[in-house]
């Protein structure tokens, strides 16, 4: 196999790849993000035998390049994540929001939580462990943990629930590791009883959403909107409002907000945590 050259991506190559990603995912890549595109696509080019990312771009222009384009979009839409990332939303969920929702849903005994852009699954598995650890009263409830992502490759990995030591070290308390994981060679796999709590599905936020994402109580949409144009952000938030229950809650990333995008959510701050209530 040839060694990938270190030539910088040409402007024409960047423009083509950025448009491909935009058309498929609505994610905007400005020219200043060329370094990100190069770092994400170097491995894709190498694995497919190309000497440069420009060669990869040329191949994508040819017919029958759908599988290759899926690899490119997968690489560009895979988000970094960790267990209990930015711990404050999980603490608010555990101490306040889930107890409130459990009381409100006590008759129907159904709870739906959606983790979008779930990547390799740490966020939704963190929620699953929290429920198992602190809310035994939900054992006989219909608890639906939905995890979605655009990348089919990362979803396959998430479903397996296998993590390397570096990923385990990022945010996972030792007592939860010992209680809910087991060794698989040099890796760790989350136990079946936790994995079975989660359903993983491919969802493109700019396309139609499946019916299962209806009547959602809690939506995690963290560090997702930052990649989109204002118009696309408005469209996504409008969709969320149609799918979330009137007394549900929405979590965005720390640098995200709904200002100048929608008047269908109100900002609520509790100590160091911000979430959004439907109006």
Identify the pLDDT of residue 215: 97
| Structure token digits, residue 26 | 């609505």
- Dihedral sign, CA of 86, 87, 93, 96? negative
Q: What is the per-residue pLDDT across 172-225, written as a single tens digit (0 to 9) for each?
A: 999 999 999 999 999 999 999 999 999 999 999 999 999 999 999 999 999 999
Residue with tokens 């290759």: 68
pTM: 0.84
Note every long-range contact of 14-20, with CB atoms under 8 Å and residues 24 or more positions apart, other chains counting. 16/57, 16/60, 16/61, 17/41, 17/53, 17/56, 17/57, 17/60, 17/72, 20/60, 20/69, 20/72, 20/73
The correct CATH number of 88-278 out of 3.40.50.10860, 3.40.50.150, 3.40.50.2300, 3.40.47.10 is: 3.40.50.150
Q: Which of 72-81, 113-122, 124-133, 255-264 has the lowest mean pLDDT?
A: 72-81
d(CA 50, CA 193): 42
8 Å CB contact between 256 and 227 = no
Q: Each residue of 9-55: pLDDT tens digit?
A: 888 999 999 999 888 888 888 888 788 888 889 889 999 999 999 99
pLDDT value for 164: 95
Quick one: pLDDT band at residue 227, thresholds 50, 70, 90?
confident
Domain boundaries, the chain: 11-77, 88-278
Three-state secondary structure string covering the chain = CCCCCCCCCCHHHHHHHHHHHHHHHCCCCCHHHHHHHHHHHHHHHHHCCCCCHHHHHHHHCCCCCHHHHHHHHHHHHCCCCCCCCCCHHHHHHHHHHHHHHHHHCCCCCEEEEEEECCCCCHHHHHHHHHHHHHCHHHCCCEEEEEEEECCHHHHHHHHHCEECHHHHHCCCCHHHHHHHEEEECCEEEECHHHHCCEEEEECCCCCCCCCCCCCEEEEEECCCHHHCCHHHHHHHHHHHHHHEEEEEEEEECCCCCCCCCCCCEEEEEECCEEEEEEC
pLDDT digits (tens, 9 = 90+) for 126-179: 999 999 999 999 999 999 999 999 988 899 999 999 999 999 999 999 999 999
The answer, yes or no, to whether residue 97 has pLDDT greater than 80, is yes
Of the pLDDT bands very low, low, confident and very high (cuts 50, 70, 90), residue 78 is: low
CATH of domain 11-77: 1.10.155
Query: Contact 235/206 with Cβ under 8 angstroms?
Result: yes
Alpha-carbon Rg for the chain, nearest whole angstrom, is 20
What number is the average pLDDT over the span 75-80? 75
pLDDT at 4: 45
pLDDT of residue 80: 73
Going by pLDDT thresholds of 50, 70 and 90, the confidence category of residue 278 is very high
Instruction: Give the pLDDT score at 1.
Output: 44
What per-residue confidence (pLDDT) applies to 5?
A: 45
């Amino acid at each position: 196999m040839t060694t990938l050259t270190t030539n910088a991506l040409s402007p024409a190559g960047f423009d083509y790849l950025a448009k491909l990603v935009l058309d498929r995912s609505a994610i905007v890549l400005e020219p200043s993000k060329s370094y990100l595109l190069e770092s994400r696509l170097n491995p894709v080019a190498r694995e497919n035998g190309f000497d440069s990312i420009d060669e990869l771009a040329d191949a994508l222009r040819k017919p029958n390049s759908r599988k290759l384009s899926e690899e490119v979009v997968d690489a560009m839409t895979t988000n970094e994540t960790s267990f209990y990332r930015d711990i404050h939303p999980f603490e608010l969920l555990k101490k306040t929001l889930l107890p409130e929702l459990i009381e409100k849903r006590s008759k129907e005994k159904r709870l739906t939580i959606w983790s979008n852009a779930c990547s390799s699954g740490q966020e939704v598995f963190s929620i699953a462990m929290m429920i198992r650890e602190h809310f035994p009263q939900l054992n006989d409830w219909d608890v639906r943990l939905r995890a979605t992502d655009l990348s089919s490759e990362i979803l396959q990995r998430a479903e397996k629930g296998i993590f390397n030591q570096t990923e385990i070290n990022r945010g996972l308390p030792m007592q939860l590791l010992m209680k809910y994981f087991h060794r698989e060679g040099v890796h760790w796999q989350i136990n079946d009883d936790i994995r079975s709590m989660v359903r993983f599905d491919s969802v493109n936020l700019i396309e139609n959403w499946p019916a299962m994402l209806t009547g959602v109580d809690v939506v995690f949409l963290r560090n997702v909107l930052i990649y989109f144009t204002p118009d696309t952000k408005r469209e996504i938030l409008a969709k969320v409002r149609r799918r979330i229950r009137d007394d549900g809650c929405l979590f965005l990333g720390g640098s995200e907000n709904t200002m100048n995008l929608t008047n269908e959510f109100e900002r609520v701050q509790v100590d160091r945590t911000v979430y959004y209530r439907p109006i």
